[in-house]
């Protein structure tokens, strides 16, 4: 089959690789009809996630048609259309039984590797380095789905791929980011990053009762999307001082909740931004926490910080004094996708979300290499790329 394969920093190629086969009785094989490139794939592309190996198949946002199931999978059969959550979860362990699927204890075969870096291991993730299992990803014609009886959600009706594909990650991720803010009626929420997760976080915050949402970015097309589509007030951090602007907009108090939908490759201005760039380039710091520092500084006293943005390892110059002395709450985590599949599918059906609108580019899988470059460089006002494996 054809697959988008990581060969090194800034080197993604579409290779011919062996088809996946069933390994365990709870596996299924899915023929992929749509798959997306995620902002967090760019951290792999830019070489900032450790334990990637040349030959790894990328992709954790995908859906398709079941073509084969293992003998223990009784809820799916060949021909079923499914969306696959990016987090792999067994459904029966301590965490899964509490709906904390991204912390599954049984889905990361390389847990020992993750424990060395992070102390404990989270769940396995498709196409996201050997730290999270070394699973082949879904930017391919086919993929093997472990624990297929627990994860994938069946799409029975005629809803287009492009309407439901993002149940795999970015829609639940934006939703959980807002949920983690514990929004009260009348709250002001600020969202750093107007990529797809940021857009869904803004929309979710309004659905949960936020009075105002303020969106922060530097790309005009993303700010435009945040104001026109997601109904946020917008700030361009290259044009205004974000701290001053937020104070002005909130009677000097600061937003009730702040969402970091940017993560480890944040851009910024000034001395600390330059400091992070140099340290990251020298391998002395894995992440550039510009946005994390800002949410910690600008959130109101007693407010909540929610971090859906991906971080990989170690950071420094983090204003912990601000968090402690001002009684901030910090919430984060890989998304417990399985928990949100059914409720968010319902919301898509009801029209509360129209995730398709975030897609700016649809291209054949064969163009994955160019698509990565375009997305990374934000060329052609690219916000979200969907790859179609069977389009030529």
Is 283 exposed, middle or buried, given 0-12, 13-18 or 19+ CB atoms closer than 10 A? exposed
Residue with tokens 């059906």: 349
For Zn ion, give the closer residue by CB, 171 or 232: 171
Min CB(88)–Zn ion separation in Å: 9
Of 280, 270, 266, 303, the C-alpha closest to 192 is 266
Q: Which residue, judged by CB position, is nearest to Zn ion in the bound state? A: 38
Min CB(309)–Zn ion separation in Å: 11
Min CB(100)–Zn ion separation in Å: 9
Min CB(101)–Zn ion separation in Å: 7
Task: Give Cα 236 to chain centroid, integer Å.
Answer: 22
For Zn ion, give the closer residue by CB, 169 or 265: 169
104 lies in the binding site for Zn ion (CB under 5 A): yes
For Zn ion, give the closer residue by CB, 61 or 285: 61
For Zn ion, give the closer residue by CB, 88 or 290: 88
169 lies in the binding site for Zn ion (CB under 5 A): yes
90 lies in the binding site for Zn ion (CB under 5 A): yes
The two structure tokens encoding residue 199? 């857009």
337 lies in the binding site for Zn ion (CB under 5 A): no
Min CB(86)–Zn ion separation in Å: 6
Pick the piece of the chain touching Zn ion (CB under 5 A) from 27-35, 81-89, 212-220, 365-373: 81-89
Query: In which element (H, E) is residue 65 found?
Result: strand 61-69
Ordered alpha helix ranges (H), the chain? 39-45, 111-118, 161-164, 170-179, 196-207, 220-228, 242-249, 271-281, 290-298, 320-325, 337-350, 368-376
For Zn ion, give the closer residue by CB, 104 or 387: 104
For Zn ion, give the closer residue by CB, 384 or 388: 384
Min CB(375)–Zn ion separation in Å: 12
Q: How far apart are CA 53 and CA 32, in angstroms?
A: 23
Q: Which residues contact 35 (CB under 8 A, 6 or more apart)?
A: 59, 61, 62, 63, 138, 139, 140, 165, 365, 386, 387, 389
1 lies in the binding site for Zn ion (CB under 5 A): no
Min CB(335)–Zn ion separation in Å: 9
For Zn ion, give the closer residue by CB, 169 or 217: 169
188 to 31, 183, 202, 216, 343: CA distances (angstroms): 43, 9, 11, 14, 25
Min CB(89)–Zn ion separation in Å: 5
φ and ψ of 265, to 5 deg: -115, 40
For Zn ion, give the closer residue by CB, 90 or 264: 90
Paired sense of beta strands 2-8 and 56-57, if any: antiparallel
Identify the DSSP state of 135. B
Q: What sign has the CA pseudo-torsion 319, 322, 324, 327?
A: negative
Rounded (5°) CA angle 196-33-42: 35
Min CB(370)–Zn ion separation in Å: 20
Per-residue binding string, Zn ion, 32-51, x by CB under 5 A, is ------x-------------
Interface with Zn ion (CB under 5 A), residue total 9
96 lies in the binding site for Zn ion (CB under 5 A): yes
Please give the residues from 225 up to 254 whose contact with Zn ion meets the rule CB under 5 A. none
Q: Work out which of 17, 22, 42, 93 binds Zn ion, going by CB under 5 A.
A: 93
Largest CA distance in the chain: 61
For Zn ion, give the closer residue by CB, 63 or 89: 89
Side-chain-side CA neighbours of 208 within 13 Å: the count stands at 22
Instruction: Give the interface with Zn ion as residue ranges (CB under 5 A).
Output: 38, 61, 89-90, 93, 96, 104, 106, 169
């Amino acid at each position: 089959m054809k697959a988008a394969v990581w060969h090194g920093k800034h080197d993604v190629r579409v290779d011919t690789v062996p088809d996946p086969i069933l390994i365990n009785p709870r596996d299924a094989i899915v023929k992929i009809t749509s798959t997306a490139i995620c902002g967090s794939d760019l951290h792999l592309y830019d070489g900032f996630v450790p334990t990637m190996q040349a030959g790894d198949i990328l992709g954790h946002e995908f859906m398709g048609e079941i073509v084969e199931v293992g003998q223990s999978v009784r809820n799916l059969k060949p021909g079923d259309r499914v969306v696959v959550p990016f987090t792999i979860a067994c459904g029966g362990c301590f965490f899964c039984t509490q709906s904390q699927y991204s912390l599954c204890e049984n889905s990361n075969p390389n847990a020992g590797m993750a424990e060395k870096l992070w102390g404990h291991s989270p769940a396995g993730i498709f196409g996201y380095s050997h730290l999270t299992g070394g699973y082949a990803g879904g930017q391919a014609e086919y993929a093997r789905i472990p624990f297929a009886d627990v994860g994938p959600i069946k799409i029975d009706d005629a809803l287009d791929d492009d309407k439901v594909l993002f149940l795999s990650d970015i829609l639940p991720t934006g939703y959980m980011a807002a949920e983690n803010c514990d929004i009260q009626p009348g709250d002001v929420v600020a969202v750093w990053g107007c990529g797809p997760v940021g857009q869904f976080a803004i929309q979710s915050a309004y659905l949960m009762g936020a009075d105002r949402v303020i969106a922060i970015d530097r790309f005009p097309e993303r700010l435009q999307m945040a104001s026109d589509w997601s109904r946020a007030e917008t700030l361009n951090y290259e044009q205004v001082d974000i701290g001053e602007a937020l104070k002005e907009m909130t009677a000097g108090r600061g937003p009730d909740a702040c969402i970091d939908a940017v993560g480890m490759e944040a851009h910024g201005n000034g001395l600390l931004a330059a400091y992070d760039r140099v340290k990251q380039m020298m391998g002395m710091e894995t992440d550039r926490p510009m946005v994390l520092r800002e949410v910690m500084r600008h959130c109101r006293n007693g407010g909540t910080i929610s971090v859906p943005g991906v971080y990989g390892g170690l950071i420094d110059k983090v204003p912990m004094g601000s968090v402690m002395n001002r009684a901030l709450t910090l919430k984060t985590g890989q998304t417990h996708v399985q928990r949100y599949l059914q409720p968010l599918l319902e919301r898509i059906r009801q029209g509360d979300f129209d995730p398709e609108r975030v897609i700016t580019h649809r291209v054949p899988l064969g163009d994955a290499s160019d698509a990565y470059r375009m997305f990374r460089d934000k060329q052609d006002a690219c916000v979200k790329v969907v790859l179609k494996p069977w389009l030529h």
